[in-house]
Structure 1
Amino acid sequence: MHGDGTDRRGSVVISIDAELGWGFHDLESPPRERIERSREGWLVLANLLGEYEIPATWAIVGHLLLDDCDGTHADHPAGEEWFTWDGEGRRDLRFADGLVDRVADSPVDHEIACHTFSHVLFGDGDTSREVAVAELEQSRQAFADAGLDFASFVFPRNQVGHRDVLAEFGVEAYRGGRAPDGSTLRTAAESLLGTYDPHLPEPTVDEYGLVFVPPSQYLFGFEGIYHEIAEATVGDPVVAQARLGIDAAAESGGLYHMWLHPNNLTSPLQRRRIERILASLDANRHRVRIETMADVASRVRSNDPAAVPE
């Protein structure tokens, strides 16, 4: 805190794309292991965040909030074919069945955000405005029926589009666009050597009055054999990169925004990565603010009264 009462510490945000099977239903060859472990990963992540008392923005696919459905959604303009995927007959991949409650009822003040209704890619040229409107309408209804609301929105696969529709539905903040590529061997080496320059994006207000909260780092971009070798010898470069980002935010007063999916946590190695990052963030909470996307939006708007359209 400064003498004028203003908190000018840097900010760290964690956002989570919570989608179960919906994140892959348009793919011909979905990642089977991630789908199979998606519910388990959700609970593990919720438990770790609770253990370290770290709030996050959980962007939920709206369909997960339904109690049941007819499997066709004939009133949705995307067409019945879009919804013919049935999760291989498994309800646990189509509906949350208590997982969202696990987050919403947590003693940690998580933010519940929207990740569309059915994981439609808003940035795809084939996604019409009509479809985008339906995704927001049906998400709003599903959230309301569950006693929830949302102010933030995460674009599936970070593909930005139809921001005007978000504004019409009262959305205040969004995440989209690509973070710098952290999956290269060069980036891994720089992270471990401490020479990596973290990406600290500036939140901005767009022409629709929405606060853009850009991503800094995808926490599972560097995987495979090279990651396993690094982890076994010199340490996890993703953890090193995250720690550098937290330090940079603390020293500069900027924003460091990390994101992931619950289904990324498919092994003890990956869970250990998240635990180490959360432990580092917890140890630095006196140096940085741990915020949600909604917190960032509120702060940006309060510092810039002109950000809210008349």
Structure 2
Amino acid sequence: MNTGILTISLDFELHWGRFDKYPLSGYEAYYAQTREVIPRLLDLFEENKIRVTWATVGSLMAESLEEWNHFSPAVFPSYQLDKFSAYSWVKSQRNLPSEALFAPNLVRQILDCPGQELGSHTFSHYYTCEKGQNHEQFRMDLKAAVRISQEKFGKSLKSLVFPRNQYDEQSVQIAGEEGFEFVRSNPSDWFWQHTEEETLVKRIFRTGDTLISLGKQSFYPKSSLSPSRPVRLPASRLLRPYKGDSILHRRRIARIKDEMEAAAKSGQIYHLWWHPHNFGFFAEENMEGLRQILTWQKVLEMQYGMRSMHMEDTASEVLAKVGT
């Protein structure tokens, strides 16, 4: 029986994914809440037998700034705009609260939770399409991510999510050369292409598409995946956080559930993603929305056989079926 798959991948980054957009000051409670939410997410996943890929920024695996420096690559990215460099940002800061940057204890909890895959979100939240950097610098960044994961946690990394969903063909190839077998790719809609070239129109269409259909079908057949490594697993939908807009939030959750059901009925893949820190505000409302989605997955599992699989599971099954 050709059963549907719910794949979930999370971009686990703390402030490493936000330093070029938001100041640390004023977000202390935000990251404190994020750190409290992650064990609750793990409990919810374990309770519902949900398998998840945690694409983790390598920098947050460090215990301290000293250890971060130890694992950092010898070559830093040479972005035209220095604001994109985590290394330049760190040098510019006087006080760096570890709660917003380092979380090896949470990584250990992820590894201890059944069904969770530790993936990579690069070492420094590296932007592969920003002007000035080059692909060998990206390679060095990936090597640093692999090293800290192996030396600190004894884990090899197989799945990669590109920060800000930026990638090109050469960066995908380099990821494969550095041992990554699976990457998350973007939806084929025009407003998800070339995310380094951000426009207001793209943002409007991406936001609107969470409420009504403005793009292509979000789920896809297993046969659409190429066995060429690294296997690309397109994202289907970003689970946008609750921000006080209860009517819009309910509509977004309902749209996700409708798409999940359609994927389950047709035996296709539905790939949901978000950032754990998205639950840093309105934690209860966001947890309730997720709980509804996971409860619905169980209904779809009983009715149509829809399974929960992380990125490695999903891609490995496809590879096995094509005999590669």
Fold similarity call, TM over 0.5: yes
Pairs within 5 Å for 1:101-180: 101-106=108-113, 108-145=114-151, 146-161=153-168, 162-178=171-187
Q: CA deviation at 1:14?
A: 0.8
Return the offset for 1:89.
1.8
| Aligned twin of 2:313 | 295
Letter in 2 for 1:271: M
Whole-angstrom CA distance in 2 between matches of 1:124 and 1:110? 31
**Paired AA for residue 18 in structure 1:** F
User: Is the counterpart of residue 62 in structure 1 residue 82 in structure 2?
Assistant: no
Paired residue type of 1:172: E
- 5+ long unaligned stretches in structure 2: 79-86, 190-204
Q: In structure 2, do the counterparts of structure 1 residues 136 and 87 end up closer, same or farther at CA, with 3 Å as the change threshold?
A: farther
| Equivalent position to 1:43, from 35, 39, 45 | 39
Distance 1:149 1:23, change over 3 A: same
How much does 1:156 deviate? 0.7
- Assess if the C-alpha contact under 8 Å between 2:53 and 2:116 holds in 1: yes
Q: CA deviation at 1:84?
A: 2.5
Name 1:200's counterpart in structure 2. 219
Take 2:166 and 2:41, find their aligned partners in 1: how far apart are those partners? 24
Contact 2:73 2:141 in 1 (8 A): no
> Counterparts of 2:52 and 2:210 in 1: how far apart (Å)?
26
Residue of structure 1 in register with 2:7 after alignment: 13
Contact 2:32 2:99 in 1 (8 A): no
Asked if the contact 1:16/1:262 (under 8 Å) is kept, the reply is yes
Paired residues for 1:269-280 under 5 Å: 269-280=285-296
- Structure 2: distance between partners of 1:224 and 1:105: 31
Note closer, same or farther for the CA distance 1:218–1:156 as it changes in structure 2 (3 Å cut): same
Unaligned runs of 5+ in 1: 2-7
Instruction: Give the structure 2 partner of residue 24 of structure 1.
Output: 18
Contact 2:77–2:138 (Cα < 8 Å) also in 1: no
Cα distance 1:126–1:89, how it changes in 2: closer, same or farther (>3 A)? same
Partner of 2:99: 92
- Choose the corresponding residue for 2:278, options 255, 264, 273: 264
Q: What SS class does the counterpart of residue 301 from structure 2 fall into?
A: coil
Relative to structure 1, the CA distance from residue 39 to residue 115 in structure 2 (aligned partners, 3 Å threshold; closer, same or farther) is: same
**Pair 158,197 (structure 1): closer, same or farther in 2 beyond 3 Å:** closer
TM-score, with structure 1 as normaliser: 0.82
* Cα distance in 1, alignment partners of residues 94 and 317 from structure 2: 40
Matched residue count: 287
What's the C-alpha RMSD, in Å, of the aligned pairs? 2.8
| Structure 1 or 2: more helix by fraction | 2
Equivalent pair of 1:182/1:218 in contact (CA under 8 Å): no
